[in-house]
């Protein structure tokens, strides 16, 4: 089921030396905020990782991942030395990082921040990253462009409210109120493709009622992006400041890796956000 296309999405395709990235329109962002999402196009990896795999932990050759990360950095106009990553354990812990953390998780998974699925920063030149292949990447900024954040939300992280916790940490760091928080919900597996079992559906039914679940041909489908949006709205983020990409990682096989569609092994895309020096 073809559930999404790039035309008309909040994200726009931008190609740089063959590397395809997806970025929001500049008019959406305060000055100084840089953010975007990688695609699988423009890298050097082969086989199941063709071609721009950015994940170290999925069995690809490390030197290829590094080359891919450099290529994506160039396409985004940022430096790989400034990347910071959490180890992503499908939890809800959010860490505040700064320039001292530049490079953690950039060239090796071992140096990523342990047990963390969300990151917040107010210093410039620190590029918060997360890696995904169906899970929901969430990017945060405040109206003033003083602070940015990122979160990785699979179904576990979503139910554990990692998005809301990242928003709360943003507000703590920047002093912003909920109505100054903006959230970009990136490409992820859509309700067109994300079939779930009864037990998991039950967990979301309990949290949100039936509205995020649809039944088709004897299967139950979950809208994970909408679940994240719901929690953020409950936390006071204005609905008009939550921007959702309609792109489905499972539908668009030439654009994205998809853990569900490709089975294991497959590659990972990256989401990135940071503040440029002003
Ligand atoms: Zn789909």
Q: What is the pLDDT of residues 84-137, one digit of tens each?
A: 999 999 999 999 999 999 999 999 999 999 999 999 999 999 999 999 999 999
Percent of the chain with pLDDT over 90: 95
Q: In the predicted model, is pLDDT for residue 2 greater than 90?
A: no
Q: Give domain status of residue 106, yes or no.
A: yes
Q: What is the pLDDT of residues 147-162, one digit of tens each?
A: 999 999 999 999 999 9
Ligand 1 center–CA 32 separation, angstroms = 33
Tokens standing for residue 33? 């905020």
Ligand 1 center–CA 246 separation, angstroms = 9
β-pair partners for 148: 121, 141
**Total domains, the chain:** 1
Query: Which residues in 66-85 are b (16+ Cβ under 10 Å) and which e?
Result: bebbebbbebbebebebbbb
Ligand 1 center–CA 145 separation, angstroms = 32
Pairing verdict, β 269-275 and 127-132: antiparallel
Domain around 166? 11-188+241-275
Band of residue 278 on the pLDDT scale cut at 50, 70, 90? confident
Quickly list DSSP for 51-75: TT---STTS--HHHHHHHHHHHHHH
Ligand 1 center–CA 189 separation, angstroms = 6
Q: Which of 248, 230, 244 is nearest to 193 (CA)?
A: 248
Ligand 1 center–CA 224 separation, angstroms = 12
Ligand 1 center–CA 75 separation, angstroms = 26
Band of residue 277 on the pLDDT scale cut at 50, 70, 90? confident
Instruction: Please state the φ and ψ torsions of residue 206, each to the nearest 5 degrees.
Output: -65, -40
Q: Give domain status of residue 231, yes or no.
A: no
Q: Give domain status of residue 215, yes or no.
A: no
Ligand 1 center–CA 253 separation, angstroms = 10
Q: Give domain status of residue 172, yes or no.
A: yes
In three-state secondary structure terms, 92 is coil
Mean of all residue pLDDT scores within the chain: 96
Q: Give domain status of residue 17, yes or no.
A: yes
Q: Give domain status of residue 213, yes or no.
A: no
Ligand 1 center–CA 256 separation, angstroms = 11
Q: Can you give the CATH number for the domain in which 107 is found? A: 3.60.140.10
Ligand 1 center–CA 237 separation, angstroms = 27
Ligand 1 center–CA 178 separation, angstroms = 31
DSSP for residue 88: -
Residue bearing tokens 């990688």: 38
- Distance between CA 185 and CA 4 in Å, rounded? 15
Q: Give domain status of residue 74, yes or no.
A: yes
- Give the chain's count of helices (H) and strands (E): 6, 15
Ligand 1 center–CA 1 separation, angstroms = 6
Ligand 1 center–CA 220 separation, angstroms = 14
Radius of gyration of the chain (CA): 17
The pocket of ion ligand 1, defined by CB under 5 A, consists of 3, 190, 192-193, 248, 250-251
Q: Give domain status of residue 258, yes or no.
A: yes
Band of residue 5 on the pLDDT scale cut at 50, 70, 90? confident
- Contacts of 24-28 with CB under 8 Å at 24 or more apart are 24/184, 24/243, 28/182, 28/184, 28/243
Band of residue 6 on the pLDDT scale cut at 50, 70, 90? confident
């Amino acid at each position: 089921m073809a559930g999404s296309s790039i035309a008309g999405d909040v994200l726009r395709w931008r190609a740089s030396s063959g590397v395809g990235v997806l970025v929001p329109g500049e008019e959406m962002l305060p000055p100084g905020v840089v953010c975007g999402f990688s695609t699988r196009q423009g890298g050097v990896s082969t086989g199941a990782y063709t071609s721009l795999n950015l994940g170290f932990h999925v069995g690809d050759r490390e030197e290829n991942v590094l080359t891919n990360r450099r290529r994506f950095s160039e396409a985004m106009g940022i430096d790989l030395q400034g990347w910071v990553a959490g180890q992503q354990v499908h939890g809800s812990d959010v860490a505040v990082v700064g320039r001292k953390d530049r490079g953690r998780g950039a060239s090796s998974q071992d140096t990523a921040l342990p047990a963390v699925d969300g990151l917040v920063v107010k210093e410039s030149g620190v590029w918060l990253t997360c890696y995904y292949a169906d899970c929901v990447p969430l990017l945060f900024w405040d109206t003033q462009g003083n602070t940015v954040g990122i979160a990785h939300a699979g179904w576990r992280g979503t139910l554990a409210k990692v998005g809301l916790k990242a928003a709360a940490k943003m507000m703590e760091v920047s002093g912003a109120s909920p109505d100054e928080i903006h959230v970009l919900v990136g490409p992820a597996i859509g309700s067109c493709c994300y079939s779930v079992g009864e037990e998991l559906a039950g967990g979301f039914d309990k949290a949100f009622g039936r509205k995020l679940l649809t039944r088709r041909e004897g299967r139950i489908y979950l809208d994970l992006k909408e679940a994240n949006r719901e929690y953020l709205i409950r936390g006071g983020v204005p609905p008009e400041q939550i921007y959702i990409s309609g792109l489905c990682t499972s539908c668009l096989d030439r654009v994205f890796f998809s853990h569900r569609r490709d089975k294991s092994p497959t590659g990972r895309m990256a989401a990135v956000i940071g503040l440029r020096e002003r």
